Amino acid sequence: MVQVKSYATLRKETLARDRGLREKVMSLEEAAARVSDGDHVAIGGCTMSRTPMAMIWALIRAGRKDLTISRSITSTEGDLLFAAKVSQHVITSWFTQGIVWGVSKVMRHYTEHNLARFEEWSHMSMGLRYRAGAMGIPFMPSRSMLGSDVGREVGESLKRMTCPFTGEVLALLPALNPDVALIHVQRCDAFGNAQIDGLQFMDIDMAMAAKSVILTTERIVANDQIRRAPDQTRIPFFAVEAVVEVPFGAAPHECYGLYEPFFDHLDLYARLSAADPIKGPADYLQSYYHGARDWPDYLSKLGLAELIDASRRGRSVYND
Amino acid sequence: MTKPLEPSAYTASELLAVMAARLMRDGQIVFAGIGIPLLAATLAQRQFAPHLTILFEGGTIGPFIVPGELPPSTNEQRCTRRANMVLPITDVLLLLQRGYVDVGFMGGAQIDRFGNLNSSFIGDPARPKIRLPGTGGGNDISSLTQMIVAMKHEKRRFVADVDFITSPGYLHGGMSRAQSGLSHGGMWRVVTDLAIMGFDETTREMKVLALHAGVSRADVLANTGFALRFDPDLETTPPPRPDELAVLRHLDPERLYTA
């Protein structure tokens, strides 16, 4: 059964954080050191969008262990976190690379052999669990996950109650308060004021629910620029512990307005993982993760032609 | 009058998309999955339902898809083209709970006689033969609004009881859905490459409402894993028209979803 963090602990942890307007720019490796073995790590974005891939790449390279991962929908990063033995427990609503590539053989291998756990909640329930966490309340009432086996499969983690006002049956979703949220954005300042273009997914609730936020950003902008359009700021600086500037930090997934998914590379990954759910991702991790000097070297392994094509497609969203 | 098209003139997926599109009504708000649901809703918009609004789970209200650039999921930037609004995932899903959505529309891997869908486990969940990708928003959509499902009509997909109820239809029939706390919505139509199915008002069992041209009752029964009934007023659907197929082929020129 899920443990909901006590309100006293939640308040105490928040008070203990350095909430001053201070610079917090660091390297991927320094940010990775702020994630501890056993942490609950929430991953921002959704499926192949704004996935903080560079940060995940750094955590895998750093050899983190026993992370509990949560995300709205989980794609290739979930495969890799299982394959790299970084996590044996993913809480999510849907887990596979993407519809067009078929069911993930890697997810299947780990879950069907009981090597790892895919804890399934409905998509809205994932969102309301982060929202409850962000609101500082222990649970959220909801009208889905009733009747079905999805609600039954999570056992005592889902409660039912009779509404004291209307007498209706409601599902009660336990709050998620992750230890760390990893979120990739288009721009933020050195303090961590983050602006997000396009789809927000569950990132804002996730950020406000978490004990700490590690931001990776396509670019760092001046605080003055943030202050010229504060209505565009989605995550406030005081929720953020680390800022890492990583251009193409969501590759080979997409980042709204900048690049679409690197489809050729994702086809290659799909072929590798479908051919052998153990050796495929292992070979992939060896050549693209452990075999890369740094993030730019990883990008160069994806290839300049594909990077340019993904950028061309990415920018096309602003065409009329 | 032009002669109706023969079945060889279109694929099973195109037939599905056309038949599903014809179930849409102008002015509806449709929560659409990727693939056939999106193609069908867009076809309806272009043919007869210009005021139909598509919602995507990724957080989009009212986009228009660029032909040949179909999104790989409901969560990429391609889903936002010419949209009226983008909003967080949780909030677009809450539109279902608030009651703004007329129809939820998705594909299905396995369905049973009460319209329950399984996209989680084949076999025992404790020791699954196949672990499937899971609910995504499927459980929310089918818990909170009226549903249309489009899928291939195969015996292994149409079973008496699904191994696992991911997205609730009428659960165990009769009043069991309402009694579980699901006060609204439910499975409305199941569209396949053979027929269109609905559900009995009392027993909530699946029944065939219409057969597609050239399909017999025996064909349907041979491809269904339970004793499926036929409505006394069984109809035959008019086959896809060239203008409908032309729209689909314009939207999906590479046949990603209509091969």
**Inter-residue contact A81 to A87 (CB < 8 Å):** yes
Read off the pLDDT of each residue in B66-80 and give the average, rounded to a whole number: 87
DSSP secondary structure code for residue A261 in this structure: -
pLDDT of residue A175 exceeding 70? yes
Helix H or strand E segment including B101: none
CA distances, A147 to each of A46, A102, B19, B115, B205 (Å): 27, 28, 30, 13, 17
B131/A73 touch (CB, cutoff 8 Å), yes or no? no
- pLDDT score for B256: 85
Orientation of helix A304-315 relative to helix A263-275, angle to 10° = 120
Chain A positions in Cβ-Cβ contact with residue B78 (cut-off 8 Å)? 260, 317
CA distances, B206 to each of B9, B107, B180, B198 (Å): 29, 17, 20, 6
Structural domain harbouring B50 = 7-251
Domain-embedded: residue B153? yes
pTM score, whole prediction: 0.97
Domain-embedded: residue A85? yes
Amino acid at B35: G
Total number of domains in chain A? 1
Alpha-carbon gap, residue A214 to A30, rounded angstroms:
11
Q: What angle do CA B174, B177, B183 make, to 5 degrees?
A: 120
Domain-embedded: residue B1? no
Domain-embedded: residue B79? yes
Total number of domains in chain B? 1
| CATH code of the domain in which A202 resides | 3.40.1080.10
**Inter-residue contact A301 to A287 (CB < 8 Å):** yes
Alpha-carbon gap, residue A132 to A202, rounded angstroms:
12
Measured between CB atoms, does A94 come within 8 Å of chain B?
yes
Mean pLDDT of chain B: 95
> Which sign does the torsion angle of CA B155, B37, A262, A53 carry?
negative
Domain-embedded: residue A5? no
Domain-embedded: residue A221? yes
Buried-exposed string A262-277: b where 16+ CB fall within 10 A, e elsewhere: bbebbebbbebbbeeb
Domain-embedded: residue A17? no
Q: What is the interface pTM, i.e. ipTM, of the complex?
A: 0.97
Percent of chain A at pLDDT exceeding 90: 97
pLDDT of residue A7 exceeding 80? yes
Alpha-carbon gap, residue A149 to B139, rounded angstroms:
10
A314/B77 touch (CB, cutoff 8 Å), yes or no? yes
Residue among A107, A124, A169 minimizing CB distance to B90: A124
Could you tell me the pLDDT band of residue A120, with boundaries at 50, 70 and 90?
A: very high
Structural domain harbouring A299 = 23-147+156-318
CA distances, B35 to each of A260, B70, B121, B158, B168 (Å): 19, 8, 22, 20, 21
| CATH code of the domain in which B71 resides | 3.40.1080.10
The strand pairing partners of A139, in sequence order, are A174
Domain-embedded: residue A141? yes
Amino acid at B112: D
Domain-embedded: residue B98? yes
Domain-embedded: residue B127? yes
**Which of A 107-126 lie inside 8 A of B, CB atoms?**
107-108, 111-112, 114, 118, 120-125
Domain-embedded: residue A14? no
Domain-embedded: residue A173? yes
Greater pLDDT, B66 or A304: A304
Could you tell me the pLDDT band of residue A320, with boundaries at 50, 70 and 90?
A: low
What φ, ψ does residue B252 adopt, rounded to 5°? -125, 65
**Inter-residue contact B83 to A199 (CB < 8 Å):** no
Percent of chain B at pLDDT exceeding 70: 100
3-state helix, strand, coil split of chain A in percent (to 5) is: 40, 20, 40
Read off the pLDDT of each residue in A49-69 and give the average, rounded to a whole number: 98
- pLDDT score for B1: 53
The burial class, CB within 10 Å (0-12 / 13-18 / 19+), for B199 is buried
Residue among B35, B86, B166 minimizing CB distance to A148: B166
Chain B positions in Cβ-Cβ contact with residue A96 (cut-off 8 Å)? 133
Matching residue, tokens 């995300």: A71
Alpha-carbon gap, residue B241 to B69, rounded angstroms:
24
Strand (E) positions, A159-249?
159-162, 169-174, 180-188, 194-195, 212-220, 233-235, 242-245
Distant-in-sequence, close-in-space partners of A165: CB < 8 Å, separation ≥ 6: none
pLDDT of residue A4 exceeding 70? yes
Alpha-carbon gap, residue A166 to A194, rounded angstroms:
40
Orientation of helix A105-112 relative to helix A76-83, angle to 10° = 50
Residue among B72, B176, B182 minimizing CB distance to A99: B72
Strand order in the sheet with B110-112: B117-118, B110-112, B158-159
Domain-embedded: residue A213? yes
Read off the pLDDT of each residue in A18-40 and give the average, rounded to a whole number: 98
